[in-house]
Structures are given as structure tokens and as C-alpha cells.
């Protein structure tokens, strides 16, 4: 049986055109970009051309784009710099952030004695904007707000402009984890009130191990990694040339077909939602499923039974790739902090299905047939 891949929020397949763009830098264009001779100059040019391409797509200045190893490093960099260099003594975040953010915030709290507040999450999974304003108004210290643009488990999308306006009003620093939206939504940084955003190429058919951090030109921070002058003295270490070239190419391709891809993938998500409701008794959904939500992500909960407890294992045996995220915290399975925050029901098993332009309705039908037997 051919494998059905419904875990695109975890990673996506590398686009063949992206591989083609990367290959010269994996073979004959192998110079170190810090070298002054021709081999170095051609790779330096490739890095700077990639930076310009990414900046143009995101409507930023090339000097505001820095290449990293991925979204996790970028979020670490933003949060630590806000505390170390920008004087933030208080962090406001949410209980449903990616661990790249939540674990970094916890580290800053325990090691640097930074105060942490958690904004309330509404039952539909959206951030309570009124509560955020209360927390900002009550804060007596310089504050960092770190809230993700779109949740990787339930798909809810934050009103990033509303949060940016509040941060401006209360003179707070704003970092948004945009890993699930860069490459999937049009982002206009020139007209978005945000100090830091992050991106990872492998979420939009680029290579793993390369990401970006956008640092607004009005923000002055110190180097995150020491040892060399790479990335304009912000991140030492020889550049991942083929990864950087791959990031820019993948973003360029994703942007060119963004509207048609979004429309098509959205129909796959909607179709699966309808088929689950129709064929699986007791199915429920997490987040603002058909509202302000990622067109790529569908989080479904199934009644907990002896059969359904092994659902991911059984899907895997049947060559179906999806990921879990139940509220339970028993044994080795720690469950999902996101699902616990909005649907803390120990009698449900949650599965995240996430889609891309390569998926089909026929694949949805095949998965539904398997689920009928498994739930």
C-alpha cells in the first residue's frame, strides 16, 4: 500500500525544484563565503541574493533578515535577546505556545528570575485579547509578548495586527512564532507591528535545518553565537549555503502559488472534516476549525476505547502518517499541553491531520475507511 502522508505541519516533502537550486552548492560551488577568492565570492553572492529574495517576499529590509538553523533557534534568539539586550523583565505568553517558546520562557524565568504571565485562552483556542491588554496594562516592568501567529496543533490564527497595536500602546516588545505561516500566508513586515518573527524552510517544501529570524531595524541586540563575523556579526559559524539557497527558493515557489495552493488544500481539510462527521460517531474537533484557522491543520478527537487508544500505531501499520496530541498524561505519553489547555477530556484521543498540495480527496477516503475500523 502506498503511504498516505497527513503530517505536513511536522514537515513537508522537499520540492524537486528546491533540490535543483541547492545541488550546485552541494557539489562544485563549495567555497567558504568568508573567503575572498572567486569560490568564496560566488557563495557569498548566493547568500546575499537569498536574503534579498526573502526580504522582498516578506516586505522587509534585507538587513532585517538573518539565517539560522530553524524556528527553534530563532525563537530562542528573540526571547533571550529581549531579556538580555532590550531590558525585558516580564514575559507575557500563552499556555499553547510551541515548546521552542514555552521552554525558553521557562528557562528565562528560572535562571534569570524573569516574571512570566500567561494570557487566557478562549474555549475555541483563540487568545483572549482583552486579557492580554489587562496583563499589559498591569505590567510595571519592560515586557516581552511572545505569541504564535498560528498554532501548530489546532491551527488557530492570531490577530497579529491587534496584538502589535497593543504592544505599541504599552511599549512592549513583540515576538511572534510564525513558523506555521511563513510560506503559507502573505506576510507584510513593513506594515506589521512586530519586532521579531521566525520561519523554517521545511514547513513549505524546503530543506530541514535552515530558518530565519526577522529583527526589526529599530531593534539593537548583541550576537547570539560568538566566534565569527557571519550574519553581520549576529550568528557566528560558516553559513549553511545550500540550506539558505533552498529556503529562498522554497519561499519563492510557495509565494508564486500561494493563493491556488491555499484554496486547494482548504478543500481537502474541509472534505476530511465533513467525512469524519459523517462516518465516525462521537468525533469532535479542536480549535476554531472552519473559522480563523490554518487551511493545513485539522485536529480531531475520538472517543477513547481499547481500539482507539492504539490509533496512531494502527494508522502507522496501515501506512498512514499523522500525529497525536491527546490531553492524557499517563505513563510515557505526556499528552499535549495545547489540547489540555482547551479540551482537557481524558476520555478522548486526539489526532492531528495536516495537509499539503500533494494530498487528495482519494487519500482522505482511504483514511476514513481505516478509521471506521480503528475507532
Q: What is the pLDDT of residue 68?
A: 98
Residues that are catalytic = 328
| 4-12+258-374 placed in CATH 3.40.50.1370 | no
Q: What's CA 237's distance to the chain center, in Å? A: 24
* Tally: H helices and E strands in the chain: 11, 13
At 1 the pLDDT is: 63
Three cell numbers, residue 198: 521566525
Task: Please tell me the predicted confidence (pLDDT) of residue 329.
Answer: 39
For position 250, what pLDDT does the model report?
98
**Chain CA centroid to CA 77, Å:** 15
Tens of each residue's pLDDT in the chain, 375 residues: 689 999 999 999 999 999 999 999 999 999 999 999 999 999 999 999 999 999 999 999 999 999 999 999 999 999 999 999 999 999 999 999 999 999 999 999 999 999 999 999 999 999 999 999 999 999 999 999 999 999 999 999 999 999 999 999 999 999 999 999 999 999 999 999 999 999 999 999 999 999 999 999 999 999 999 999 999 999 999 999 999 999 999 999 999 999 999 999 999 999 999 999 999 999 999 999 999 999 999 999 999 888 788 899 999 999 999 998 655 433 445 678 999 999 878 888 999 999 999 999 999 999 999 999 988
127-166 exposure pattern, b = at least 16 Cβ within 10 A, e = fewer: bebebbbebbeebeeebbbbbbbbbbbbbbbbebeebbeb
Distance, CA of 14 to CA of 21 (rounded, Å): 12
pLDDT for position 332: 43
Q: Output the CA torsion sign for 26, 29, 30, 35.
A: negative
Beta-carbon contacts of residue 82 (< 8 Å; ≥ 6 apart): 88, 91, 144, 173, 175, 195, 196
Angle between helix 71-84 and helix 99-112 axes, rounded to 10 deg: 30
Q: Could you tell me the CA-to-CA distances from 158 to 101, 164, 183, 261 in Å, in that order?
A: 16, 11, 16, 21
Cβ neighbours for 313, distance < 8 A, ≥ 6 positions apart: none
Q: What is the DSSP letter of 81?
A: H
Same fold, 4-12+258-374 and 16-256: no
Compute the chain's Rg from CA coordinates: 21
**What is each CA distance from 294 to 151, 215, 288, 344, 370, in whole angstroms?**
8, 25, 9, 22, 25
Q: What are the sequence ranges of the domains in the chain?
A: 4-12+258-374, 16-256
Residue 309 is predicted with a pLDDT of 82
Residue for grid cell 507591528 = 193
Residue 50 bridge partners (DSSP): none
Taking the domain 16-256, which CATH number applies?
3.40.640.10
Q: How many residues does the chain have?
A: 375
Beta partners for residue 90, in sequence order: 115, 143
pLDDT value at residue 277: 98
Q: Give pLDDT, residue 287.
A: 96
DSSP state letter for 357: T
Amino acid at each position: 500500500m502506498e503511504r498516505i502522508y497527513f503530517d505536513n505541519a511536522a514537515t513537508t516533502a522537499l520540492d524537486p525544484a528546491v533540490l535543483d537550486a541547492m545541488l550546485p552548492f552541494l557539489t562544485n560551488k563549495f567555497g567558504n563565503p568568508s573567503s575572498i577568492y572567486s569560490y568564496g565570492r560566488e557563495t557569498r553572492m548566493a547568500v546575499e541574493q537569498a536574503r534579498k529574495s526573502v526580504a522582498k517576499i516578506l516586505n522587509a529590509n534585507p538587513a532585517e533578515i538573518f539565517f539560522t538553523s530553524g524556528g527553534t533557534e530563532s525563537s530562542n534568539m528573540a526571547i533571550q535577546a529581549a531579556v538580555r539586550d532590550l531590558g525585558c523583565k516580564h514575559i507575557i505568553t500563552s499556555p499553547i505556545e510551541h515548546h521552542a517558546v514555552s521552554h525558553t520562557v521557562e528557562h528565562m524565568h528560572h535562571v534569570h528570575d524573569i516574571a512570566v504571565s500567561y494570557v487566557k485562552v478562549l474555549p475555541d483556542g483563540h487568545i483572549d485579547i482583552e486579557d492580554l491588554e489587562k496583563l499589559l496594562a498591569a505590567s510595571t516592568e519592560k515586557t516581552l509578548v511572545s505569541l504564535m501567529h498560528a498554532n501548530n496543533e489546532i491551527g488557530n490564527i492570531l490577530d497579529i495586527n491587534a496584538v502589535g497595536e497593543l504592544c505599541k500602546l504599552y511599549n512592549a516588545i513583540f515576538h511572534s512564532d510564525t513558523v506555521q505561516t511563513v510560506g503559507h500566508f502573505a506576510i507584510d513586515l513593513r506594515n506589521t507591528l512586530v519586532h521579531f518573527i521566525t520561519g523554517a524552510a521545511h514547513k513549505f517544501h524546503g530543506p530541514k535545518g535552515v530558518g530565519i529570524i526577522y529583527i526589526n531595524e529599530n531593534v539593537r541586540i548583541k550576537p547570539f553565537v560568538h566566534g565569527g563575523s557571519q550574519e553581520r556579526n549576529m550568528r557566528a559559524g560558516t553559513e549553511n549555503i545550500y540550506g539558505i539557497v533552498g529556503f529562498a527558493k522554497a519561499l519563492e515557489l510557495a509565494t508564486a502559488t500561494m493563493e491556488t495552493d491555499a484554496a486547494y488544500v482548504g478543500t481537502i481539510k474541509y472534505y476530511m472534516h465533513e467525512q469524519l462527521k459523517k462516518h465516525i460517531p462521537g468525533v469532535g474537533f479542536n480549535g476554531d476549525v472552519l473559522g480563523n484557522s490554518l487551511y493545513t491543520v485539522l485536529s480531531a478527537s475520538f472517543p477513547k476505547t481499547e481500539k482507539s487508544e492504539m490509533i496512531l500505531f494502527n494508522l502507522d501499520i496501515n501506512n498512514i502518517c499523522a500525529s497525536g496530541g491527546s490531553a492524557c498524561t499517563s505513563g510515557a505519553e505526556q499528552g499535549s499541553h495545547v489540547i489540555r489547555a482547551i479540551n482537557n477530556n481524558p476520555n478522548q484521543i486526539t489526532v492531528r491531520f495536516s495537509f499539503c498540495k500533494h494530498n487528495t480527496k482519494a487519500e482522505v477516503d482511504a483514511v476514513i475507511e481505516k478509521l471506521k475500523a480503528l475507532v
